[in-house]
Amino acid sequence: MEKIALSIGEASYPEPFSIGLEYNPPVHVTWNIVHIGMQVPDSMQVYICATNCMRGVIMTAYEMGAEDRFACITLEESDILRGDMEKQIIDGVSESIRRYDKPLKAVIVFPVCIHKVLSTDLNYVYKTLRARFPDLIFMEAYMDPLSQKEGLPPDQRLRAVMYDGVQPLKCDGGVNLLGSEVVHDRYSDLCDLIKNRPLRQLQGMRYSDYLQLGASTLNICTYSGGDYGIQALSKRLNQDYLYLSSSFDYEEIDQQRTLLCERLGISAPEGEKEACEEALAALKGLLQDIEIVIDYVGITRPLSLARLLLDHGFHVTQVYLDTIFTEEKKDFDYLQAHYPHLTLLPTIHSHMRVYQNKDPDVLAIGPKAAYFRKTPHFVNMIENGGLWGYKGILGLCELMKEAYLEEKDPAVIVPRKGLGCECVL
């Protein structure tokens, strides 16, 4: 069998693994395009595809109890051969709107791969729909897995168009914290630093609140998957923009806190560095030499976290990731130089279907690491779980302590879709 586990000392940046045929582990806690799109208030989603592609998105909508905001136009072979795909989309979307019996402000339309293959004239489709329903916002999404490898992935495209209903308003000095599916609260420095201004996060918004995003002066994104969309929003509305990476390095945290405070026109307060040192020391005393493994689904900067924990004496042995993002390059270089035996493992390589072992004495940070190590001790989170800055480190220490003391069953928990999203199951 091809060697899968690599020491970071022998790994290459930015693609440490050669991945061909992919394995999709049964870990579904991340949000898919249905979950993400449902955050747009007073919206419905229309998918246009064959029944085999439809299965997953329909199930997600039903699991959320949001099937009444979901419509589909199923395609068969005869539909493709008829040569009037544009008319089918226009008629199908129009009928879906006419049947909709709830308040409706926006329609998110999802064509698929076949529409690209057939060179369907989507400009004509959207022009016709907008003329037919001038009071509605039509958001041009896509469900084309072909773009996973080339071009913008469907989730990143969606995070760009889902703000198309927002228009510039009279400025009220607010700050939008967007681009991710998690909420920042008591474990994020950002909430403290922005406490004297309106802070707007998308989750749970009414449509009137959604429109108020246009009154803010500054947009912040902390998740690389949302960076493209929030940059595009900022450019369209002429709003200031900051990408504040979710680092665990004190120096980088300080730099980003200072940058934000400059934009807010306030003095940067002292961070809680000493409190972090105390919390890390107490956690080390509790965990002793228990093995720790980290994945990129739970922690968006897994190498930054590995560096923090290793520098504080923790026994970090493995990091699960498929690529190394640009923002992790300095951490990669540092770990190569100081901890060359740290192991890197992919999550989607086909050999990972058998590269699993049950180990109750491991503490996993992230759902994929928990799945591959079959441990009952794990922190179940996605996209950093709203952790940011010094308070983020303090919050993670709490979550690691809780995971160490309280067992849970990964086989039951990590297959559930959309962590933190409404689910009726």
Cβ contact 161:140 at 8 Å: yes
Q: What are phi and psi of 256, to 5 degrees?
A: -75, -35
Output the pLDDT for position 345.
96
Output the pLDDT for position 315.
98
Q: How far apart are CA 173 and CA 166, in angstroms?
A: 16
Percent of the chain at pLDDT > 90 equals 87
Say yes or no: 307 and 410 in one domain: yes
Whether residue 247 is predicted with pLDDT greater than 90 in this model: the reply is: yes
Q: How far apart are CA 397 and CA 392, in angstroms?
A: 9
CATH number at residue 199: 3.40.50.1980
Cβ contact 245:189 at 8 Å: no
Angle at 405 between CA 399 and CA 411, to 5 degrees: 80
Q: How far apart are CA 306 and CA 304, in angstroms?
A: 5
Say yes or no: 210 and 298 in one domain: no
Average confidence (pLDDT) over 279-305: 98
**Tokens describing residue 30:** 């991340």
Average confidence (pLDDT) over 82-87: 94
Residues 6+ apart with CB under 8 A from 286: 401, 404
Say yes or no: 259 and 370 in one domain: no
Q: What are phi and psi of 268, to 5 degrees?
A: -75, 120
Say yes or no: 78 and 16 in one domain: no
Residues 6+ apart with CB under 8 A from 387: 187, 188, 246, 381, 393, 395, 396
Whether residue 422 is predicted with pLDDT greater than 80 in this model: the reply is: no
Cβ contact 33:143 at 8 Å: yes
Q: How far apart are CA 254 and CA 260, in angstroms?
A: 10
Say yes or no: 371 and 332 in one domain: yes
Q: What is the DSSP letter of 12?
A: P
How many domains, in total, are found in the chain?
Answer: 3
Confidence of residue 2 (pLDDT cuts 50, 70, 90): low
Q: How far apart are CA 364 and CA 373, in angstroms?
A: 8
Output the pLDDT for position 214.
98
Question: Is there a domain that residue 253 lies in?
Answer: yes
Q: How far apart are CA 127 and CA 138, in angstroms?
A: 10
**Tokens describing residue 99:** 């049947």
Confidence of residue 359 (pLDDT cuts 50, 70, 90): confident
Question: Is there a domain that residue 21 lies in?
Answer: yes
pTM: predicted TM-score of the whole model, two decimal places: 0.94
Sequential DSSP letters for 295-363: ETTT-SSHHHHHHHHHHTT-EEEEEE-SS--GGGHHHHHHHHHH-TT-EEE-SSBGGGGT-----TTEE
Say yes or no: 143 and 217 in one domain: no
Question: Is there a domain that residue 93 lies in?
Answer: yes
Q: Which of 264, 291, 325 is the last residue of a domain?
A: 264
Q: At 153, which amino acid appears?
A: P
Whether residue 150 is predicted with pLDDT greater than 80 in this model: the reply is: no
Whether residue 158 is predicted with pLDDT greater than 80 in this model: the reply is: yes
Chain-centroid distance, C-alpha 55: 22
- State the angle between helix axes of 224-237 and 154-161 in degrees (0 to 180), rounded to the nearest 10: 30
Question: Domain range spanning residue 50?
Answer: 33-162
Output the pLDDT for position 197.
97
Question: Is there a domain that residue 423 lies in?
Answer: no
Whether residue 360 is predicted with pLDDT greater than 90 in this model: the reply is: no
Say yes or no: 21 and 63 in one domain: no
Whether residue 1 is predicted with pLDDT greater than 90 in this model: the reply is: no
Average confidence (pLDDT) over 161-181: 97
- Provide the terminal-to-terminal Cα distance of the chain, rounded to the nearest Å: 40
Residues 29-58: tens digit of each pLDDT? 999 999 999 999 999 999 999 998 899 999
In this structure, how many other beta carbons lie within 10 angstroms of the beta carbon of residue 190? 23
Output the pLDDT for position 385.
96
Say yes or no: 259 and 283 in one domain: no
Q: How far apart are CA 235 and CA 262, in angstroms?
A: 20
Output the pLDDT for position 148.
66
Which position has the token pair 């002066």? 217
Question: Is there a domain that residue 361 lies in?
Answer: yes
Q: How far apart are CA 218 and CA 200, in angstroms?
A: 10
Question: Is there a domain that residue 424 lies in?
Answer: no
Say yes or no: 93 and 109 in one domain: yes
Confidence of residue 425 (pLDDT cuts 50, 70, 90): low
Which position has the token pair 């909508």? 61
Q: How far apart are CA 130 and CA 106, in angstroms?
A: 11
Comparing 211 with 149, the larger pLDDT belongs to: 211
Question: Is there a domain that residue 170 lies in?
Answer: no
CA distances from 416 to 282, 324, 419 (A): 32, 26, 7
Say yes or no: 112 and 179 in one domain: no
Say yes or no: 247 and 151 in one domain: no
Q: What is the DSSP letter of 23?
A: -
Angle at 99 between CA 94 and CA 102, to 5 degrees: 110
Chain-centroid distance, C-alpha 196: 27
β-sheet bridge partners, residue 179: none
Q: Which of 99, 134, 162 is the last residue of a domain?
A: 162
Question: Is there a domain that residue 309 lies in?
Answer: yes
Chain-centroid distance, C-alpha 11: 26
Say yes or no: 149 and 38 in one domain: yes
Residues 93-135: tens digit of each pLDDT? 999 999 999 999 999 999 999 999 899 999 999 999 999 999 9
Judged by DSSP in three states, 138 sits in: strand
b/e 150-159 (16+ beta carbons within 10 angstroms → b): eebbbbbbbb
Q: Which of 103, 136, 162 is the last residue of a domain?
A: 162
Q: How far apart are CA 96 and CA 6, in angstroms?
A: 51
Average confidence score pLDDT of the chain:
95
**Tokens describing residue 397:** 């220490």
Output the pLDDT for position 205.
95
